[in-house]
Chain A
Amino acid sequence: MTASLTLVVLMAVMYGTGIYVMLERSLTRLLIGFLLVGNATNILIFLMSGPSGSAPIVTGTAADENMVDPVPQVLMLTAIVINFGVVAFILALVYRSWWLAQLGDEGDTLTDEHAGETEASTEAAFAAVDEDDLAIQQVLDASNEHGDTDSDSGPIEDDPEAREKERR
């Protein structure tokens, strides 16, 4: 299959510029990059339909012989509309985050939200699971016989249920 170099170069240029814009620290710029990359991707699919020809509409005449491949067109038609929906959705997200958080001039800036995370700060996230594991371990340990107690009777201080109640 032959390639139209113009289209390939155009696609590369649009990907390059799209990515360049996308990496900026501004949500709206990111979205502009998204538009460019979206169009570039459509060109990539478009490339696959080969050289130009007549529209994929059956006429019953000789023109049908020269028809272009309709399959990429169908894929792109879907992609175009979905692209539109997603762009509108991201716009709504941008607006909402700006408006509800009352961010003012900073609303559009993407922050390094995980920059301050350390291993210590993630420990808290595991605390709940660790506590659960510890609790079951304590219940099991509590039932384990201690050699010094009189197994016929004996005082019961370490009692899982009493501790359970305390915890509540």
Chain B
Amino acid sequence: MTLILALFAAVSVASPLLTRWLSTRVFYVIALLPAAVFGITLAQTPTIASGGVIEEKIEWIPQLGIALTSRIDALGWLLALVVTGVGALVLVYCARYFDADEPGLGRFAGLLLAFAGTMYGLVTSDDIIVMFMYWEITSILSYLLIGHYTGRKESRGAALQALLVTTFGGLVMLVGVVMISSFAGTTSIASIVSEAPQGAGPTVAILLILVGALSKSAIVPFHFWLPAAMAAPTPVSAYLHAAAMVKAGIYLVARLAPGYADIPGWQALLVGLGVWTMIVGAWRSLRQYDLKLVLAYGTVSQLGFLMVITGFGSRDAALAAAALLLAHALYKATLFLVVGIIDHQAGTRDWRKLSGLWRSTPSLFVITAIAVASMAGIPPLLGFVAKEAVFGAFVEAAIEGDFWGWVALVGTAVGSVLTVAYSARFLWGAFGNRKKIVPTELHTDGWGIQFAPAFLALATVVLGIAVPLLDPLLALYADTVPGEGHYHLALWHGLEPALFISAAVLVLGGLLFWRRRGVARLQEKVPPLVDASRGYWAATQGVDRLSAKITIFAQRGGLSQYLSTILVVFVLALGLTATLGRTWPSGIRWFDSPAQLVVAVVMGIAAIAAALAKQRMTAVLLAGVTGFGMVGLFALHGAPDLALTQALVETITVVVFVLVLRRLPVKIAQHNKPEQRTRRLIIGVLVGLVMGTIGLIALGARQAPSIAAELPRLAYEEGHGRNIVNVMLVDIRAWDTMGELSVLVVVATGIASLLFVSGRAKALPRLSGSRNQRRADNRRNVIDDPQTTEHPESVHRQSWLLGGLKVSSENRSVLLEVLVRLLFHPAIVVSVFLLFVGHNSPGGGFAGGLLAGLALVFRYLAGGRYELGEAAPIDPGKVLGVGVLLAVGTAIGSLFFGGEILQSAYLEADVPVLGHLSIGTSSIFDVGVYLVVIGLTLDILRSLGAEVDRQQEDTDLEAGTDDDFTPAEVRP
């Protein structure tokens, strides 16, 4: 069964593509899948008939006891047949319903098929959590399918209504699902029902689940979304909103009834609301001009009917419920499909515009008449059998003096009278003659479109007559409901009360239809008691406005305002908790070493000075001092890796800061008028105090021994490395590093895309003919490049760097050029060294990559962007990509050798200079880290360095100035 669901998913995904090749014929192809599943389910009938179940279990999240369990028993079998059978027919119908140029056809096909698969999953799943997931997926698919006509307002409005209402119910249901699975100690629905936990808790849980079922099945007060959902294409209405999705709520009630029908509130809730829904729906159905809305309100009414009988909780009622569920699916799907055909061929669904259809399309008339008769409960159709069974069950209960039995009997009888009336109205409206209207012309395009409704109508007849064959199968479900019961589904039970009720219902319904004008006038006088859709409107608008009010209240002002709010909340919440703290450190030392005190004092002074500094550049450098102070702290503390990394990072950070700040107008830095200094000071001091206290409390709170004790052994024996920090990064906690690498790639890409407006792939500018230029005798030649301003004086100077020729002489430093020339290559060699020895000594991919990046930074600083282009003539995106590929490749590579993800393998060897090396897959992972860090630095340099230079030069050319430190004139 999991295989079937996987197939559904695969074909759904492929559907849009198939639609491109096959156009509307795609529906025939994808209909094969539900049809095949229908066949499979039918083939399972002997097992079901002998009282067996078909089970399959695949563990999913064993820690939570959640498994992909499917379990087909009699009820699941019935629903699976309905879902796949109607699904296949509706798909076949779609092939004729849609034109080839229908927009979004591929998406529609995929969604509808996915829906069929999800419904199948829902009714066969035995795990209540998994079932809930299918439940929510159907809500989302329903949203997408109702909103098929994305350009229409009513389509979008209806889709959103349906989604909000059903997911609201779903959310309530989720609470109930979690509660009941925890009370029952299992997620298996079969066990939850057969060993139903007792007490107030489980009762509340079940009632919460029922809220979900009621919203899904459009029961008052949630009913209004269903008529609105008729904005969907008709096949969707026929399938989702008549046969399948709205039945999910009924199915769930039917599923739970054997275990929980006797809990307090169950019967009152389901029978009470069901009766109300049945009457309200039918009442409104009688007032509709739109044929589809006649059916929609009729469906609301019938769902109420189904809810009453399903939730009633006796054995006979359960039998009647199963029969009615099947009958309703067959006739209501038929009628929706018929409305679709009329709409398609006549161009309207408004019966006031239709006339004489019974003569122009007699076959459709016959199909409709059968379905309508089944809906009204006329023998010998399935609808009649089901309704007889319903009345039989209620009469039985009413005779025994059951109050809810009487409510159900009277309520459903009244509802049935109205049902007969609107059934007649539908048939007469769709096919009757109108005196003042010329017979409607139909654009018939073949009989193919009538296949699906004809098939369903035939099933209604055949199953009505062959109901004795169906009876034992449905009774298998009914027998799971506790209580006595001996009823059998049959066409003829003798002259019983139920038969007289049925007859009376038909007569009264006919009378209502005959006196329809009087009824209409009466209806006009009865004001609507509750208009739930207006209530929905008020509720959603209220929530919207409330959220707007809160946002306006809380988010008035800019970023500093929000930060202040967050920080004040932080201080209040954590500060308050901190004052109540009872865990203090076991002892306080003044400092670890005198040097630590010195470094800390310097850092503290630098931090305060940075806060007070007027000049921005000064503040950056002072912040840098605190960063380098960290290096000192790390070095003193026995953290060489951190010291190395921090030193490299701090250097690059300061350089990058300066690169950007030099470009921003100098004035910004000067007129930085301090605002609200007192407020900022108070918040700053409070946050500092709270953080200090939290630090102390955290230190005291640490009582369990550190996991560090095991790490040396793990690193050395399992990770083949002596440097624990590096082994943890590339092996023990490699998952974490993978996450970090992806952050770095995102950051690098983000920076590049922020600066390169026209596209990131653009390579850095290189000197034209750079290969030639490298020859010593060519060094003095002028390089023509229209991209930059020329600096003629540079021609006559010897440059130590190739790109230096492009830098104006006042911006050049011979000292820097010489240093970079001498140190670049050694630096790269050392970076590679750091990369490879990192496993055993301080170093590793991060430090190595940062050092190589720093070397590039200085290349750029000394020689400008052309020098950078010469130094690294490669797209940083490729460096990043190769890095990630190496890391991910190592991670999943082990899977191919039967290992776990990120498991390492090793090869040891003695290498001159580097010493004893253990080259493992984790080293390859570290190479990936190395490349990603280089790629990031390169991207930063290229963007914040080279591209900023270029943009500046562009501006300077326009403004006619070439002073690097004069802000560009603001262009109008």
Contacts and interface: CB of A to CB of B under 8 A. Distances in A.
A42 B665 CA distance: 32
Contacts of B521: 147
A13 B607 contact: yes
A2 B586 CA distance: 5
Given A2-B586, A153-B352, A147 B524 contact: yes
A113 B807 CA distance: 41
Given A17-B607, A21-B611, A92-B944, A71 B619 contact: no
Contacts, number: 440
What's the dominant secondary structure at chain B's contact region? helix
A115 interface: yes
B436 interface: yes
B585 A144 contact: no
Given A14-B607, A140-B293, A132 B689 contact: no
Contact of B157 (A35, A80, A122, A132): A132
Contacts of A139: 154, 231
A96 B680 CA distance: 28
Given A1-B586, A70-B725, A140 B228 contact: yes
Contacts of B840: 57
Query: Which of the listed residues A7, A15, A47, A51 has the most CB atoms from chain B within 10 Å of its own CB?
Result: A15
A137 B729 CA distance: 60
B649 A151 contact: no
Nearest to B728: A74
Contacts of A48: 698-699, 702
Nearest to B558: A112
A73 B747 contact: no
Contact of A13 (B284, B524, B623, B688): B688
Nearest to A44: B695
Contacts of B627: 35, 39
A145 B110 CA distance: 37
Interface string B637-676: 1111110011001001100110011011101100110111
Given A5-B590, A114-B557, A133-B540, A11 B691 contact: yes
Contacts of B600: 6-7, 9-10
A117 B672 CA distance: 27
Contact of A16 (B520, B685, B723, B755): B685
Contact of A17 (B290, B611, B656): B611
B588 A2 contact: yes
B722 A58 contact: yes
A19 B684 contact: yes
Contact of A59 (B290, B353, B556, B722): B722
A74 B729 contact: yes
Interface string B675-687: 1100111011101
A92 B943 contact: yes
A24 B636 contact: no
Contact of B626 (A14, A83, A93, A140): A14
Contacts of B559: 30, 110
Given A24-B674, A42-B630, A3 B699 contact: yes
A144 B353 CA distance: 15
B915 to A, nearest CB: 14
A152 B706 CA distance: 86
Interface size class of B (residues with CB under 8 A): 35 or more
Contact of A70 (B231, B664, B711): B711
Nearest to A22: B563
Contacts of A151: 516-517, 520
Interface in B933-957: 933, 936, 940, 943-944, 948, 951
Interface stretch (B313-321, B372-380, B499-507, B543-551): B543-551
Interface string B575-607: 000000000011111111100110010011001
Interface string A33-54: 0011001101110111101111
B558 A110 contact: yes
B754 interface: yes
B744 A102 contact: no
Nearest to B844: A77
B970 interface: yes
Contact of A35 (B228, B653, B967): B653
Contacts of B231: 136, 139
B564 interface: yes
B463 interface: no
B681 to A, nearest CB: 6
A16 B687 contact: yes
Interface in B829-849: 840-842, 846
B781 interface: no
Interface string B741-755: 001100110110011
B665 A104 contact: yes
A82 B153 contact: no
Contacts of A13: 604, 607-608, 688
A36 B585 contact: no
A131 interface: yes
Contacts of B841: 57
A47 to B, nearest CB: 6
Interface in B678-728: 679-681, 683-685, 687-689, 691-692, 694-696, 698-700, 702, 706-708, 711-712, 715-716, 722-725, 728
Contacts of A53: 638
B372 to A, nearest CB: 18
Query: Which of the listed residues B600, B736, B944 has the most CB atoms from chain A within 10 Å of its own CB?
Result: B600
A12 B724 contact: no
B161 A136 contact: yes
B561 interface: yes
B809 to A, nearest CB: 27
B824 interface: no
B590 A6 contact: yes
Contacts of A67: 638, 708, 712, 724
Contacts of B661: 28
Given A51-B592, A58-B722, A132-B156, A16 B641 contact: no
Nearest to A118: B552
Nearest to B941: A88
B107 interface: no
B623 A35 contact: yes
Given A1-B585, A8-B696, A86-B747, A140 B533 contact: yes
Contact of B588 (A5, A49, A112, A152): A5
B626 A152 contact: no
A155 B744 CA distance: 69
A28 B645 contact: no
Contacts of A99: 663, 951
A125 B523 CA distance: 38
B774 interface: no
Contacts of B557: 112, 114-115
A143 to B, nearest CB: 4
B927 to A, nearest CB: 16
B633 interface: yes
B348 interface: yes
Contact of A71 (B284, B706, B933): B706
Contact of B680 (A3, A15, A20): A20
B663 A95 contact: yes
B194 interface: no
16 contacts: A3-B699, A12-B691, A12-B692, A24-B560, A44-B698, A68-B638, A80-B646, A84-B649, A89-B747, A92-B750, A104-B967, A133-B157, A134-B153, A136-B228, A144-B287, A152-B434
Task: Give the 5 A-B CB pairs with smallest separation, nearest first.
Answer: A16-B688, A132-B157, A12-B692, A20-B684, A147-B524
Interface of A: 1-26, 28-32, 35-36, 39-40, 42-44, 46-49, 51-59, 64, 67-71, 73-74, 76-78, 80-89, 91-96, 98-100, 102-105, 107-115, 117-119, 122, 125-126, 129-140, 142-147, 151-154, 156, 159-161, 164, 167
Given A74-B725, A99-B951, 13 more contacts: A19-B684, A28-B664, A32-B619, A36-B611, A44-B694, A52-B592, A68-B638, A68-B639, A95-B663, A104-B665, A114-B555, A119-B548, A139-B154
